[in-house]
Structure 1
């Protein structure tokens, strides 16, 4: 379901440019200078309404978090949460993941989160999946050598596809969890979708992968 258009979104984002970076390309290679510390940078691609990344920023104050979301009508909700929390270790960018190399320098990011990404179930849309090989090429360039990708999803097909995609790209799987809430990770921060699906008894899948 598409988010309802918010005609006030542009003005709202401009008014809160301390939280949402309107010209992210200008910060390439200098993201740490925007935060109060030179802590590691963790990037969530497809941050949605921001529940996950705000929760992570609250739980891990010594890490700098960046939430990327392409939909302007959705990212405003994330920015609103950021305003309420008043955290100094999180910001947002309204961009497409295909622009990653224009926004981040090589080895600038320590960790990437892919949470409940669009599964694009039709075969003809395979190239749009965020774990398709062309996206993995981008991640490999902006991640540090020991940086990892963490994927969470309720979609079994996307999860299985991603495991194969990671393996074919010669990545190492550090963790594969078939039911995250049975696994009971006390550090896990749930997204809005995660709460919705897990409440229905649907298993949540998670994996961690690193480039060799």
Structure 2
């Protein structure tokens, strides 16, 4: 809660091994506890969306959605939104690539381009930045003082944008209901930022993937 109200910077992860496993279990439980009541509210006030969410998709689309939710989205979104929260120069440089990728994603949502061409380009830009990070991360490890001083704004801003980017999902309603629908992602962005900085990037990717597994698995089990 202290981190959510005023995110603070740490130079290195503070939990490893079994301690990190226990911390991740608690963070995942908090994520689910936030998701369930907000999801129930959305179902009550927007029944058509709930009905669309219960629609059974053909197996190829189910497999594609499962791959995106459990593998691609956790890796891609954590790289773009939170990998650079280490504050190191190489990571911040990668963050610039992530910003360009994010702008391409937003443009794709706004313009509804044919075949999601801009989304594909965003993926290329994000992973080009990753190549650049691999080449420079050992040398450029310094953390600028301005990043530490403004760290909370980077966490809050990235979490807000992380939630808003989900307004582009096909089953997300518009207007105020849309903001309610993506509120768990905004809050989850703060939790994932905590996981990333206190446990490490790999743990944040795992946290993201497990959360999505619950999100997909519970409705499927109830059908």
Length-normalised TM-score, structure 2:
0.22
Q: Which of the pair is proportionally richer in helix?
A: 2
Q: State the structure with more CA Rg.
A: 2
Q: Which of the pair is proportionally richer in strand?
A: 1
Which structure ranks higher in relative contact order (CA pairs < 8 Å, sequence separation ≥ 6)? 2
